[in-house]
Amino acid sequence: MAFQSLHCLSTLKSENLCPVFVKSSDDETTSDALEDLYKAQIQDLMEKEAKRIVAEKNDPEETSRLCSLSLVELYESSDPDLVPALMARLGPVRAALEGHGGAIVVSSAEVEITNAGHRALSLIIDLDGACVSCGAAPGTLKGIQDDLLIDEQVYSVKFSSSMLEWFNDIQRDFVLEHGGVTFV
C-alpha cells in the first residue's frame, strides 16, 4: 500500500505566496508537480518583467510602426530600419538584449520563396555589445530564433559561426549539442 501525504506547494496570486496542497502517493510525483508549478510561475514572472522592461525602453508607437514594415522590403532597400524592425518582433528575449546592452546584427540575408509562395528572409545573425561571450547566449540565441520564426516574413534563422569563438570548450560543446540553433 502506497504511503500518501500532503505536500505544500507555493503559488503566486497577485504577487503574494499562497499555499496549495497536493496529495501525492510518492515523492517523485510531488517533485514533478512542484517543478511544473515553479516553472509556470517563473515563466509568467519572466514574461511580465520582460514586457515591463521593453515598455520602459521603447516607444509603443515606434514599435508598432516597425512591426508594420515589410522585412523583405527593408532588406532589399538596405534600409537601416531592418535591425530595429527585427528587434521589434522579438518577445521576452528583447528585454534581455536591450537590458544588457546587446544587439543583433544581420550578417547576411537572402530572400526565399516559402511553400505558401510568399517572399521571406533567410537570416544569418550575429550578436553585438554585451551579448558577446555572455553565459546566457545559448538561451538568447534560441529565443531570437524562435521569436523571429513566428513572423511569416522570416523563412529561417541561423547564426554566424564566428560567435562560437566567444565560448570556452564546454560552452561551445553545449551550445552545439543542446542549443537548438544552427551555426554557419
**How many whole angstroms separate alpha carbon 27 and alpha carbon 32?**
9
Q: 48-76 pLDDT, tens per residue? A: 776 777 667 778 899 999 999 999 999 99
Q: 10 or 183, which is more confident?
A: 183
The C-alpha cell at 130 is 554585451
pLDDT of 161: 92
Non-local (6+) Cβ contacts of 150 within 8 A are 89
Residue 141 scores a pLDDT above 50: yes
**How many whole angstroms separate alpha carbon 39 and alpha carbon 45?**
10
- The pLDDT confidence band at residue 133, using thresholds 50, 70 and 90, is low
What amino acid occupies position 152?
Answer: E
Q: What is the mean pLDDT of the chain?
A: 81
Q: 13-54 pLDDT, tens per residue? A: 444 445 454 555 566 677 788 888 888 888 777 777 767 776
pLDDT of 80: 96
In 152-174, which positions are buried (b, 16+ CB within 10 angstroms) versus exposed (e)?
A: ebbbbbbbbeebeeebeeebbee
**How many whole angstroms separate alpha carbon 67 and alpha carbon 38?**
33
Whether this prediction's pTM lies above 0.85 is answered by no
